[in-house]
Structure 1
Amino acid sequence: MKAVFDERQWRHDPKHFMANGAISANPEQPERIRVLHEAALKAGCAFEAPADSGLGPIAAIHSAEYLQFLETIYSRWRRIEGAGEEVIPNIHPDRRAAGYPKSAVGQAGYHQADTACPIAEGTWEAAYWSAQTAIHAAGLVLAGECAVYALCRPPGHHAFGDMAGGFCFLNNAGIAAERLRAAGLRPAILDVDVHHGNGTQGVFYARDDVLTVSIHADPARFYPFFWGHAQERGEGPGLGANFNLPLERGTGDETYLEVLAAALTRIRSFGADVLVVGLGLDAHVNDPFKGLAVSTSGFARITAAIRGAGLPMLLVQEGGYLSDDLGANLTSALEGAVG
């Protein structure tokens, strides 16, 4: 399998993370790159670096206002007397239609959904090349590859069109899907991360030309809390083009595969001719977030079932955090994807 990665993704090294009122080390560590890269090589992947396709494919789903914020906010933040080392919001608007402030602090609150997406010196560069990785991988699919792996880090599925969140800044899977759609294909995005792909849903929620499907731990008591419920089906032209499949905490392989079958049925009914998979590995039983209980071998069964849909497949790395099983989980998933 061909795979894509850019070394500049190492330059995002977040420090801050808060959960339940306690501050700890950020789980989205650069070390994830080493583990995932080695695991992909073990699965037989051949890596190449992405070309620079510029901002155009990124701006196809992200607002110019937001991209300007991401590119400039760190240097602006450093001019604030007494500011912390990372851009972390401390105030949020009560609605997206609220006024847009000139203040760096106010814009941080507007464009960062939570405190899990701190921005430091290397964040924009890493996020940009993570997105370029997905764009280049989409190009390989357009060139005829049946399955391609994009090692994207930071991940992307919590990033909305104008808002970061949950370790994510640019929506890599969404950018890739839009690239495929612009080339004349009819893409579906299938997100198998343990967390709902709320940013991906938000980007395409009112559209009928990209199907978004997410299998995830029930957000009633799990991040991202406010999105990912079964009744969220899309709106306007997109009504029926969003399909959420929340699972009970602790769900294991067999039930997961049954729900995956329903997801693949919907993808077939949509008439998709290419599939973008948000490949989260944090559904594993030993992942630090402990939302679901998929086994290592279960990931191979999941990707084999997806392969059975018979569609060209772009696997975009989402979550999956440092544990003794992370590398084995990716190797299993990639081996299942190629048979």
Structure 2
Amino acid sequence: MKTFFSEDHRAHFPQAELHGGQFVTPFERPSRIEHVLTRLKERGFAAPIAPDPADRAVVDALHAPDYLDFLETAWAEWKAEGFEGEIIAASFPARRMQTARPPRNIDGKVGYYALAAETAITEGTWAAAWSSMASAQAAQRAVAAGDRAAFALCRPPGHHAASDMYGGYCFLNNAAAVAEMFRRDGAAKVAVLDVDFHHGNGTQDIFYDRGDVFFASLHGAPEDAFPYFLGFADETGTGAGDGATANYPMAPGTGYGPWSEALDDALSRIRAFGAEALVLSLGVDTFKDDPISFFKLDSGDFLDMGARVARAGLPTVICMEGGYAIEAVGINTVNVLEGFNNA
């Protein structure tokens, strides 16, 4: 299995995240990727391949033009306003406030496009997000050319990025772009399977009214877990997408037994949907020692997870999402890849 990865991810390293009422070093940081790279090498995987540039047309099809303009220019506007620190949202269009008129002031714009305040923007954020998108697209091209599967070692991750909002450490939706590319390459139907602990609200937002992309997410119950306001079981799609969304919210303390039952059900629905290609949003924050999650999967469970996904028998692109137990991220991620390869 080829791995696609860009060193440009290092350009995005905010120095602070608001967590539990304190500013802490972000849980989503460059060292996560270093552990994955080290483990890939230890387990004999081929050296990662630097991606070709991303196709902007694919991104434009998924994200609103004003949102992309914001991401590209936010840092320059922030500095022009005279602000010294990193960009962190401080005000939001809450209930009964207007959302049809984005503010002109950059401080207001940030809150308009942010869905949460934990995710900072830095001078290098756009470059890093674009390189992450490039890795995802390169992986899709490899699979479209005949590879059984490919791994996009994306950072920053993407599944919380909606059509016009960022947050949860995500800015551009890598998995959604891969699904869109499979469709453009001729697949009548595509599935996105999100196994990150946190609900893939951004991917759901992008495809919620489409009937050609099936989205399934296994995640912590939104009553208890970020992003809190999406991911309930009764969210099943709308319009042409009615029935093409499946959410599996699960309670604190969920172990691999019930979790794997949800995975099997999701895979069964993907087969029934008739998907011709699969995108796996791979977060390993379901691990029992993850600092911002509450599932109880062991490292060995990730081997079985990969094998179950492989048995779906679909051309598959695996996009890296979350996982914040830093020392174990490499082991758990590569276990999924080995489980897939050996199935």
Q: TM-score range by the shorter chain?
A: over 0.9
Distance in 2 between the 1:146 and 1:9 partners? 26
Deviation at 1:96, TM superposition (A): 7.5
Aligned-pair distance for 1:308? 0.7
Q: What is aligned with 1:127? A: 129
- 2: CA distance, partners of 1:254 / 1:195: 18
Q: How does 1:51-70 map to 2 (within 5 A)?
A: 51-70=52-71
Query: Is 1:234 the counterpart of 2:276 in the alignment?
Result: no
Counterpart selection for 1:332 from 319, 331, 335: 335
Aligned to 1:300: 303
Distance in structure 1 (CA, Å) of the matches to 2:170 and 2:181 = 19
Q: Which residue type is aligned with residue 70 of structure 1?
A: L
Q: Is the Cα–Cα contact under 8 Å of residues 158 and 199 in structure 1 kept in the other structure?
A: yes
Between 1:99-108 and 1:170-179, the stretch displaced more is 99-108
Q: How many angstroms apart in 2 are the aligned matches of 1:243 and 1:150?
A: 24
Normalising by structure 1, we get a TM-score of 0.97
Distance in 1, matches of 2:224 and 2:258, equals 20
1:220-265 deviation line (CA, Å, top 9, x unaligned): 1111100011000111111111100011111111111111110011
Structure 2 equivalent of residue 25 of structure 1: 25
Structure 1: gaps of 5 or more residues: none
Question: CA 1:96–1:189 in structure 2 vs 1: closer, same or farther (change >3 Å)?
Answer: farther
Distance in 2 separating the partners of 1:290 and 1:66: 29
Is 2:208 aligned against 1:191? no
1:133-187, CA deviations, whole angstroms, 9 ceiling, x for partnerless residues? 1011110110011111000000000000111010000011011111111111121
Counterpart contact for 2:31–2:326, Cα < 8 Å: no
Letter matched to residue 199 of structure 2? H
Q: Distance in 2 between matches of 1:8 and 1:93?
A: 33
| Matching residue within 156, 161, 166 for 1:154 | 156
Structure 2's unaligned 5+ residue stretches are none
The corresponding residue for 2:2 is: 2
Opposite residue 52 of structure 1, the aligned amino acid is: P
TM-score when normalising by structure 2: 0.96
Q: Identify the residue that residue 86 of structure 1 maps to in structure 2.
A: 86
1:118 corresponds in structure 2 to: 120
User: Residue 210 of structure 1 contacts residue 241 of structure 1 at CA under 8 Å; is this kept in 2?
Assistant: yes
Partner of residue 166, structure 1: 168
What is the rounded CA distance, in whole Å, between the counterparts of 1:200 and 1:44 in structure 2? 32
Q: Is the 8 A contact 1:8 1:129 kept in 2?
A: yes
Name the % identity: 41
CA deviation after TM superposition for structure 1 residue 44, in Å: 3.4
Aligned length: 338
Equivalent AA in structure 1 for residue 11 of structure 2: R
Task: Write the distance in 2 (CA, Å) between the matches of 1:103 and 1:254.
Answer: 50
Distance in 2, Cα, partners of 1:324 & 1:89:
30
Determine helix, strand or coil for the equivalent of 1:262: helix
Q: Distance in 1 between matches of 2:250 and 2:63?
A: 29
Q: Deviations over 1:98-139 (max 9, x none)?
A: 312211111111111111221101100000000011011110
Q: Is the 8 A contact 1:286 1:323 kept in 2?
A: no
Is the alpha carbon distance of 1:307 and 1:96 closer, same or farther for their aligned partners in structure 2, counting shifts above 3 Å?
A: farther
Structure 1 residues 136 and 293, CA gap change in structure 2 (3 angstroms) = same
Match of 2:267 in 1: 264
Cα gap change, 1:309 to 1:210, in 2 (>3 Å)? same
Aligned partner of 2:209: which letter?
A
State the alpha-carbon separation in 2 of the partners of residues 265 and 54 from structure 1: 32
**CA spacing shift, 1:62–1:38, aligned 2, 3 Å:** same
Contact between 2:32 and 2:326, CA under 8 Å: does it hold in 1? no
Q: Which moved more, 1:41-50 or 1:219-228?
A: 41-50
User: For 1:282, which of 277, 285, 289 is the aligned residue?
Assistant: 285
> How far apart, in 2, do the equivalents of 1:53 and 1:91 lie?
32
Residue 17 of structure 1 and its aligned partner are, at CA, apart by 1.3
| Counterparts of 2:33 and 2:262, CA distance in 1 | 30
Q: Which residue of 2 aligns with 1:108?
A: 110
Q: Deviations over 1:176-221 (max 9, x none)?
A: 1111111111210000000000011001011111110000111111
Q: Matches of 2:308 and 2:89 in 1, distance apart?
A: 41
Q: Which residue of 2 aligns with 1:50?
A: 51
